[in-house]
Structure formats: structure tokens, C-alpha cells
Amino acid sequence: MLLNQTCEYALRAMTYIAQCQANGAVQARQIAEHTQVPQQYLQKVLTDLARAKILSSARGIGGGFRLKRPADQIRLADVIRRFDDISSHTQCPFGNTQCGITNPCPIHDRWSIVVAAYSSFLENTTLADLIRGNAYQPQPQPGAVRLNTPDSKED
């Protein structure tokens, strides 16, 4: 999977907070319950997102976490970059440090398509898209391999 566990937890939490935004701040305990993320681990993730000024936090009665900006201004890349080096996914899966256009590994061309689609998805999808169910879906590239999944329909 391209997302590590911390990134996955962060996206779950951010999506839940975005869904609850109109009701005020959301407590870590409530987020943990609804997202199935261990509360102590989640607290560290949320604190890091608050330090990054993606979330705001307040203690006490009525306290909790809120989005610092509107959901349509928070890209998934903004969240993921706090916990993962997105550019590391561009490295050759075979570990070939010389892999590139002039010296491609056996899957270089196809891997480049995957990395480009992944990066584009993170840069072009916001939390608002997720809560509306409108996550960015890239258009197929000429020559791209189409993956059949249980949800896809064969033509």
C-alpha cells in the first residue's frame, strides 16, 4: 500500500473532523471511537496536525479539534506530507539507483504512471471531496493498464 498506517489514521481523523465541523470542536476520544484508531496514537497524530496548522485545538469544556481552514482548502497531500515523504514513492521499486528514462528498470514505465496518478490524486483531492464522495479520479492515460477490481465493470 502506498499509505503508511499513520497517514491512513490521519486521513480517517481529518475526514471525520471535516464531517463534524458544523457541530463545533471534536474530542480525540470521539474521533478515535468513530475512526477505529487507538486513542493514544491518534492523539499524537492530531497534535502533529495542529502543530502544522492544519487543525486547531482547544482544551477544556467545548474543546477538541477543528479544521484550521475550510475542508475544500485542505488537500490530502497537505495531510500526508506530515507523516510520509511522498517523493520517496518515485524511487525504483527494484532499488535501482540508476533507473530512469535513459536506463529504465523492467517496470519503470508502468510504475511512473502509478506514481503520477498517486501524486495527482493527493494534490487534487480535498477533504471536502472525500466527504462529498467526489474524490478526484484521473483520466486513463493512453497505453495505461486498466486494473479490474471487484467494483469495476468490464466493457
N- to C-terminal Cα distance for the chain? 27
User: What are 68-91's pLDDT values in tens digits?
Assistant: 999 999 999 999 999 988 777 777
Which residues partner with 57 through β-bridges?
A: 65
Longest C-alpha distance within the chain, in Å?
A: 60
Q: Which residues, 6+ apart, have CB-to-CB distance to 73 below 8 Å?
A: 126
Dihedral sign for Cα atoms in the order 90, 121, 150, 147? negative
Chain segment 35-73, per-residue pLDDT in tens: 999 999 999 999 999 999 999 999 888 789 999 999 999
Question: Would residue 146 count as lying in a domain?
Answer: no
Q: Would 109 be classed as within a structural domain?
A: yes
Secondary structure (DSSP) of 90-144: GS-TT--TT-SSSS--TTHHHHHHHHHHHHHHHHH-BHHHHHHT----PPPPTTP
The tens digit of pLDDT for each residue in 103-118 reads: 888 888 888 888 888 8
Its pTM stands at 0.77
Domain that holds residue 33: 5-132
Domain count, the chain: 1
Provide the CATH number for the domain around residue 102: 1.10.10.10
> Is position 153 within any domain?
no
Question: If pLDDT is split at 50, 70 and 90, which confidence band does 149 have?
Answer: very low
Res 129: pLDDT: 93
